[in-house]
């Protein structure tokens, strides 16, 4: 509860700070301070003392899984603000308001990690989504940004309508919004009505929209490409990870696929393979690194869906590790992308000669996204695939996952090839020393988690 209340309060504080503070750079420091307070408060909540002992009547349930994810999300946002805060100042005139919206998004993220009824799921999704529509269109003089915001709003509204329909049907079938009742639907043939199954299918479609899973991914490349790059980084990492945590909580039922009215495992197989196929194959043919990252985020969503397929303890651990590894690497690569004057692959030609530290850090981020050993991304993918093995079948799904991981290495290595093996100027904007230290530390953190993933996971079992 600490994180939910304090993120909302700090958002309001930042709103009023825009009246009192005129220095744009100060907003970044106020936001970083707020995130530090938020992180400390959430860690306090994890160990017991809650500053806001509010009775939620079981509509929210705070467990170690959700609290640990909150810490990952808040820490990732803090790194995002420290690395890309100056670029937020360039996004438009309303700098304080952008940070306000980020805090409100975090409030939605924390609700999604602890919801225990479908009503709170809906509220969390909306609190998270509405600020994102505004952030997407924050570059008002850019037609692509306006188009992306409108498309995102329309697609988001459409998926919200489907979600509401699903909630209504499930309530009509079970008479309850509580997750325990919904989960029991998965576990038996007897008593499962048409309303319940149809409602759950509607919820599945709505959540696939939110996490960019195929065939409901089509809005993602245009929105990610049209939004200011600094906000794309935030949307593609923390927000997407929150969507998966909510997805997992909604469909977290340990049942054999033969005991359900719908073959959910086969349904997830189709969704996973479609998402991996579309994300990876289309990423191969992109000429813009930003657009390639948009399609690769779809492919990464395919890997995260393995947790939904497996639904075991290995999957839960793996999803947390994946959220951390993917967020850190993507925030890092987008921070460097923002410094580039040309977002195409050719724009990275010769970067290693001009900016060796940036090129080295970028290589670590790309290797982590590709799942190469000694990076956090390797263990993230390993946990996802191992969770499938733990189910005791579907080994062919593991093979499919490995094959698509090999395909993804191709387009990530294109950037590394451009930086180290092609001639060019690798033109960048002015890069400060503190920025270089920041990306170097981030790359070091990814290698640390790649060598010692338990350093992160042990915290989960505090």
* pLDDT tens column, 144-195: 888 889 999 998 899 999 999 999 998 888 888 888 877 776 655 555 677 8
Angle at which helix 376-390 crosses helix 433-451, to 10 degrees, equals 30
Q: Are residues 237 and 362 in the same domain?
A: no
Which residues make Cβ contacts (< 8 Å) with residue 35, sequence separation at least 6?
74, 77, 78, 81
Q: What are phi and psi of 256, to 5 degrees?
A: -75, 145
Q: Are residues 237 and 309 in the same domain?
A: no
Q: Are residues 307 and 373 in the same domain?
A: yes
- 8 A C-beta contact, residue 127 and residue 76: no
Nearest by Cα to 228 from 358, 329, 130, 92: 92
Q: Are residues 24 and 102 in the same domain?
A: yes
The string of DSSP letters for 114-139 reads: TB-BHHHHHHHHHHHHHHHHHHHT--
The boundaries of the domain holding residue 62 are 1-163+216-242
Strand partners, 344: 288
Would residue 329 count as lying in a domain? yes
Q: Are residues 223 and 309 in the same domain?
A: no
Q: Is residue 109 predicted with pLDDT exceeding 60?
A: yes
Q: Is residue 26 predicted with pLDDT exceeding 90?
A: no
- 8 A C-beta contact, residue 375 and residue 367: yes
In whole angstroms, give the CA distance from residue 172 to residue 166. 10
* Residues in the chain, overall count: 462
Coil, helix or strand at residue 344: strand
Would residue 390 count as lying in a domain? yes
Number of domains composing the chain? 2
Q: What is the pLDDT of residues 283-316, one digit of tens each?
A: 888 888 888 888 888 888 888 888 888 888 888 8
Nearest by Cα to 182 from 162, 163, 155, 200: 200
pLDDT value for 189: 54
CB burial readout 359-371, b (16+ within 10 A) else e: bebbbbbbbbbbb
Which residues make Cβ contacts (< 8 Å) with residue 416, sequence separation at least 6?
362, 363, 366, 367
Q: What is the pLDDT of residues 87-103, one digit of tens each?
A: 888 877 788 889 999 99
pTM of the model as a whole: 0.90
In whole angstroms, give the CA distance from residue 355 to residue 246. 40
Would residue 185 count as lying in a domain? no
Q: What is the pLDDT of residues 308-340, one digit of tens each?
A: 888 888 888 888 888 888 889 999 998 898 888
Percent of the chain with pLDDT over 90: 18
- 8 A C-beta contact, residue 85 and residue 438: no
Q: Are residues 419 and 365 in the same domain?
A: yes
């Amino acid at each position: 509860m600490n994180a939910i209340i304090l993120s909302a309060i700090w958002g309001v504080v930042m709103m009023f700070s825009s009246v009192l503070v005129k220095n744009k750079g100060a907003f970044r420091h106020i936001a970083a301070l707020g995130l530090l307070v938020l992180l400390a408060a959430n860690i306090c909540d994890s160990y017991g003392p809650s500053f806001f002992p509010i009775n939620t009547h079981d509509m929210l349930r705070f467990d170690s899984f959700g609290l640990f994810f909150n810490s990952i999300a808040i820490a990732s946002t803090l790194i995002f603000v420290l690395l890309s805060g100056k670029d937020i100042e360039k996004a438009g005139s309303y700098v304080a308001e952008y940070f306000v919206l980020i805090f409100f998004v975090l409030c939605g993220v924390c609700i999604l990690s602890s919801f225990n009824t479908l009503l709170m799921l809906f509220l969390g999704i909306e609190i998270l989504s509405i600020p994102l529509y505004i952030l997407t269109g924050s570059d008002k003089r850019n037609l692509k940004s306006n188009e992306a915001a409108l498309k995102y709003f329309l697609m988001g509204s459409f998926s919200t309508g489907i979600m509401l329909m699903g909630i209504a049907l499930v309530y009509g079938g079970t008479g309850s919004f509580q997750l325990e009742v919904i989960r029991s639907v998965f576990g038996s043939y007897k008593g499962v009505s048409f309303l319940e199954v149809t409602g759950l299918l509607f919820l599945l479609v709505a959540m696939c929209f939110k996490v960019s899973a195929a065939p409901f991914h089509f809005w993602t490349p245009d929105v990610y490409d049209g939004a200011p790059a600094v906000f794309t980084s935030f949307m593609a990492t923390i927000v997407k990870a929150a969507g998966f945590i909510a997805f997992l909580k909604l469909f977290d039922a340990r049942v054999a696929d033969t005991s359900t009215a719908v073959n959910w495992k086969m349904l997830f197989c189709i969704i996973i393979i479609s998402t991996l196929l579309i994300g990876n194959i289309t990423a191969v043919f992109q000429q813009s690194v930003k657009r390639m990252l948009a399609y690769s985020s779809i492919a990464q969503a395919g890997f995260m869906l393995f947790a939904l397929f497996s639904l075991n303890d290995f999957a839960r651990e793996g999803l947390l590790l994946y959220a951390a590894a993917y967020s850190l690497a993507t925030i890092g690569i987008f921070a460097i992308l923002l410094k580039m004057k040309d977002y195409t692959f050719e724009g990275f030609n010769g970067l290693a000669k001009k900016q060796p530290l940036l090129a080295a850090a970028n290589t670590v981020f790309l290797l982590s996204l590709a799942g190469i050993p000694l990076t956090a991304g390797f263990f993230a993918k390993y946990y996802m695939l191992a969770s499938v093995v733990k189910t005791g079948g579907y080994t062919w799904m593991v093979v499919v996952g490995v094959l698509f991981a090999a395909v993804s290495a191709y387009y990530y290595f294109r950037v590394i090839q451009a930086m180290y093996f092609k001639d060019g100027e690798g033109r960048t904007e002015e890069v400060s020393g503190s920025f270089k230290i920041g990306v170097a530390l981030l790359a070091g953190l990814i290698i640390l988690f790649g060598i010692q993933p338990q350093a992160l996971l042990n915290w989960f079992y505090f």
